[in-house]
Structure 1
Amino acid sequence: MSSGLIAVRAMLLLFCLWPLYSLASDAIRDRMEAIHQRFPVTALGEPLLALDALPEFYSHREYTLAWSRTEDRDALLEAIRAAERHGLIPSDYHYSLLATFAARTPDDLGPEARVDLDLLLTDSLLLLTSHLLHGKVNRESLEAEWTANRHAQRIDEIASQALETQQIPTLVDRLAPPQNGYQQLLKAREFLQSLQPIPWEPIVDGPTIRPGMTDHRLPLIRQRLIAMGDLMPTISLEEQVIERHYSDRLVAAVTRFQDRHGLDTDGLIGRRTLDSLNITPQEKLAQLDANLERWRWLPEELGDTHIIVNIAGFELRMIRAGEEILKTRVIVGQPYRQTPLFSDRIRYLVFNPTWTVPRTIMTEDQLPTIRRDPDYLQKLDFTVYRGWGADRERVDPDTIDWWLFSENNFPFQLVQEPGPHNALGRVKFMFPNEHDIYLHDTPARSLFSRSERTFSSGCIRVEDSFRLASLLLEGQDNWSREQINRTISSRELTKVYLKEPVPVHLEYWTTWVDSDGKRHFRNDIYGRNPRLIARLTEKPRTLAPDQARTD
């Protein structure tokens, strides 16, 4: 067949199909206009959800159909199935309805159904892209995001590129967080999935089981520890005979379990250890999914050198070029003065800081203490001022009748001078923020030995603060450890700015995998998991007609 005849036939085919494409384009344009007006829009009976990104997507392609290739449609279905491994729910992305059309081509459908299918496929792609990149739940409001309105333009571009370059098969792996912490959680999720069929009979409460004792609950405890990987299975006759005996081997397994769950590693099987042993794989899976979501909230780039504080794990880690160079314990805010979650940059250090006591702490904590112990202020090197700013006036605390003042009538400011008693210790790490939160040293060293460390008023106390200071100041103006020690010994307030501010991320992970591959679970100290889990399992919400725009 001549090339001229082929060209003529192509033109005839285009001429015949042009009314179809024109009708499809008009239909898509009308739907996008309805979305702009914030009217509920459905496709094949299901609501469209990516209300901000959908119009952008189709506008850039001049409202033409996007899903003519069977391979692309099949790849999207596979991507939705793969997203379940990340704790996302396939039904959120129209999976069941799209799967019913898997064996049909657009040519099998009428013009209206073809447009509907195209819109539904695009809606699924955009929403999945948004949830993988930024999370399903808004970090600030803790509301599920169904409109794909965060970074909508970028979501549109990424989805368009994936479709145009046939990269949908790799979509999930490319968009999910690449950090090792997230990837290790995916492996832990697979392990928890494997435990789902195992019966998880509750271990009854009773007296604390101590090493060497015999107890009827030990066979079930042994099975539980084997299932979770803390105890290697054994088939020896001796183990079968003495399985009700709390042997050294079983004590070691219990201690490993306690370490992974943030319990005192004393080998005693008491109430808290039993409670942790009774947490089902289903409950742990939901907890793990909540922490996968928290990973998706993080910035895509954490920083070549960065610090992560896990509030729920009471731990600070400093990472440089992918390697952990510091891990140290921290103390965080009490449940009624919770440490907030955010990312910022450490910009400078203060050696020998003073501590200006926040008003809430002055009136709620310090005032009752001063009333009980008149010498408290002098013993801990506090200076008292009447008023604030340049007009404040130093006052002798012995001349003040502290019983005359209250939370609503407290005209004083308390400032603790540098020294060994200072509540901030010898160094603080500053990343100025609206919460007035920072990292700092502390003289209260004994508290770091506690398994749960919620003792601060919101700021984060760092156990190995001098090591952290040394690492931050490496290679900067001869700030060696010796220079740091000399500066501290001087008791003079000294501020040192970093040449390169270091990112710091305050996070709340109740589940993680450490560098040795151990799966860790922690108590939800601030009670944040239930609401997040509820939002992650929430069904998509449609836009009500009364939410239509009036502008």
Structure 2
Amino acid sequence: MAICRHGFGEMRLVSRNGKPNAYGVAGKTSGRLLRGCVKKAFSFLAFAISLTAGLAALSVLAGPVRAETTSYGAEETHWVDPWATSATPLEGQSAVEAPLQRNATPTLSERSIEQLSAAIEHYRGIAAWGGWKRVAAGERLELGVRDQRVAQVRERLMATGDMQASPGDAYLYDEAVMEAVKRYQARNGLEPDGIVGRRTIAAMNVPVHTRIRQLEINLRRLSALMPKLERRYIFVNIAGQEVEAVNNGAVEFNERVIVGKQTRQTPEITSQVTSITFNPYWYVPKSIAMADMLPKIRSNPSYLQRQGIRVLQGWGDNIRELNPASIDWSNPRVNEAYYLRQDPGPWNSLGSLKINFPNNDAIFLHDTPTKTLFGRQERNFSSGCVRVRDVRGLVAWIMAGDDASWNEQRVEGMVDAGHYRNVSLAVPIPIYLAYLTAWAEADGVVNFRDDVYDRDGSVNTSALDN
């Protein structure tokens, strides 16, 4: 297998907060050696597994879970209730956060296109040799377990270069299998816990032809964006749920984001950041006021005061504030006469910062008072807008590029002052919101993400527990 070493299962170290973590360079491509590598990998694996008893019959896993897709209006794109139950991790789902991999090469780059093209050829080669077999459903597989399905997992991991064949007990879930599973999970957007459960099996059982189609679709998306790129820009990967700030071909900032849920999807947008709002007001969309807030107001008269929300009427010089106690909230037409505005503050639904760019969907990037959801592997919980973890770092990057006198300390000072202020940029910064469910890193690692909006016709495992 020495000939395949550069095409299968290498390791590298990435770090977060100075602590090294091992994640795999898996799914790499090696064009000239592709067919030989695939053939040797499958042949060696067949030989290894034949040393033990025959495999149990494979059972068929249920088909992929499809996301419901519902259109939404611009007025429905902002709401986050800091006291909502969704602000905390769901029961049975871990809040332990996997490290965010830091890559110097932008996702939108010629190198990424080259590697994605090579990945397509790599997966076509796998398809030519029959693809990969399914992993049977069953109990969770973890370190120390001996099960016939472990041999199926080994074979599946070898097919995409997440693991190299090795002699030994093919049915034992040992350290080598666990580390290979972690590598596979990391590049497929799953929690890298090294445990093979329902979600990991569902991802492993996506057919190779589906993955090829997914790679081809995303190569077209990348290629369409490349001519538009400028020297300095912001890129939000909606499906990947991350943001990159790029300058002169290098990623200078990247962080996790929360995007729209299936029923209120974040749209793909090409625009320019024109201003930053410090300590923003939030004008509550009428649809949210009626559907989400009005029942709470009726049941709890102090709800508006607790949220720092004022009842207003009129605009401009004619604006006036009303006492909530003087309003008949049972009137079905109450929403037509008044509107709600939330004051700046620590519990403002937009947080302390808002990044503005013109678009037809009233979408923007912003802070959030609820930080716990950033620890989740799946982060499609918003009503359409994009919440950014460490939004202050991103704003500092934006402002410093526009005016060298800006830095993180100045941003912190503006926020801590607590006053509303909108600062326009002298030079707008391009921003791209795109939906990439597959991409390749500069070193050849192939990444896949759930098609949570069902735009690729591929796979969505997010409704499953691992």
| Superposition map of 1:312-331 within 5 A | 312-331=239-258
Report SS of the residue matched to 1:204.
coil
Distance apart, 1:527 and its partner CA: 0.6
Aligned-partner residue type, residue 414 of structure 1: L
Distance apart, 1:470 and its partner CA: 0.9
In structure 2, distance between residues paired with 1:398 and 1:517: 62
- 8 Å contact 1:387–1:411 — kept in the other structure? no
Q: Which residue of 2 aligns with 1:425?
A: 351
Aligned-partner residue type, residue 391 of structure 2: S
Q: Which residue of 2 aligns with 1:485?
A: 412
Matched, 1:279 2:206: yes
Distance apart, 1:221 and its partner CA: 0.5
Distance apart, 1:341 and its partner CA: 0.8
Distance apart, 1:279 and its partner CA: 0.9
CA RMSD of aligned residues (A): 2.0
Matched, 1:193 2:124: yes
Q: Which residue of 2 aligns with 1:183?
A: 114
Q: Which residue of 2 aligns with 1:439?
A: 365
1:362 to 275, 281, 289: 289
| Superposition map of 1:107-146 within 5 A | none
Using the size of structure 1 for normalisation, the TM-score is 0.61
Question: CA offsets, 1:150-194, max 9 Å, x none?
Answer: xxxxxxxxxxxxxxxxxxxxxxxxxxx973332221121121112
Distance apart, 1:529 and its partner CA: 0.7
Distance apart, 1:280 and its partner CA: 1.6
Change (3 A) 1:390 1:271: farther
Matched, 1:218 2:144: no
Aligned-partner residue type, residue 385 of structure 2: C
In structure 2, distance between residues paired with 1:447 and 1:468: 19
- 8 Å contact 2:109–2:226 — kept in the other structure? no
**Structure 2, unaligned runs of 5 or more:** 1-107, 459-466
Structure with the bigger percentage of strand: 2
Distance apart, 1:373 and its partner CA: 3.8
Question: CA offsets, 1:492-550, max 9 Å, x none?
Answer: 1122222211100010000012345321101111111129xxxxxxxxxxxxxxxxxxx
Question: CA offsets, 1:459-507, max 9 Å, x none?
Answer: 1111121111111111516222221111111101122222211100010
Q: Which residue of 1 aligns with 2:393?
A: 467
Higher RCO (Cα < 8 Å, 6 or more apart):
2
Structure with the bigger percentage of helix: 1
2:330 to 399, 403, 407: 403
In structure 1, distance between residues paired with 2:299 and 2:119: 51
Change (3 A) 1:480 1:218: same
Matched, 1:202 2:134: yes
Distance apart, 1:345 and its partner CA: 0.4
- 8 Å contact 1:441–1:461 — kept in the other structure? yes
Question: CA offsets, 1:190-245, max 9 Å, x none?
Answer: 211121123432222112223222221110110111111111222x3xxx22x212
Question: CA offsets, 1:349-385, max 9 Å, x none?
Answer: 1111111112222222222333344333212211111
Change (3 A) 1:253 1:370: farther
Aligned-partner residue type, residue 206 of structure 1: G
Change (3 A) 1:515 1:410: farther
Distance apart, 1:390 and its partner CA: 4.5
Pair member with larger Rg: 1
Q: Which residue of 2 aligns with 1:161?
A: none
**Structure 1, unaligned runs of 5 or more:** 1-176, 532-551
In structure 2, distance between residues paired with 1:354 and 1:360: 18
Q: Which residue of 1 aligns with 2:177?
A: 250
Matched, 1:306 2:233: yes
Q: Which residue of 2 aligns with 1:45?
A: none
| Superposition map of 1:512-523 within 5 A | 512-523=439-450
Distance apart, 1:409 and its partner CA: 4.8
Change (3 A) 1:441 1:515: farther
Change (3 A) 1:484 1:409: closer
Distance apart, 1:424 and its partner CA: 0.9
Q: Which residue of 2 aligns with 1:110?
A: none
In structure 2, distance between residues paired with 1:482 and 1:514: 33
In structure 1, distance between residues paired with 2:342 and 2:109: 44
Change (3 A) 1:178 1:329: closer
Aligned-partner residue type, residue 351 of structure 1: F
Change (3 A) 1:357 1:516: farther
Tell me the percent identity: 37
Distance apart, 1:285 and its partner CA: 0.2
| Superposition map of 1:21-32 within 5 A | none
Question: CA offsets, 1:384-443, max 9 Å, x none?
Answer: 11355543431222333433336x954321111111101111111111222111111111
Using the size of structure 2 for normalisation, the TM-score is 0.71
- 8 Å contact 1:363–1:410 — kept in the other structure? no
In structure 2, distance between residues paired with 1:262 and 1:369: 36
Aligned-partner residue type, residue 451 of structure 1: Q
In structure 1, distance between residues paired with 2:382 and 2:443: 30
Distance apart, 1:317 and its partner CA: 0.7
Aligned-partner residue type, residue 296 of structure 2: T
Change (3 A) 1:371 1:226: farther
- 8 Å contact 2:111–2:442 — kept in the other structure? no
Aligned length: 349
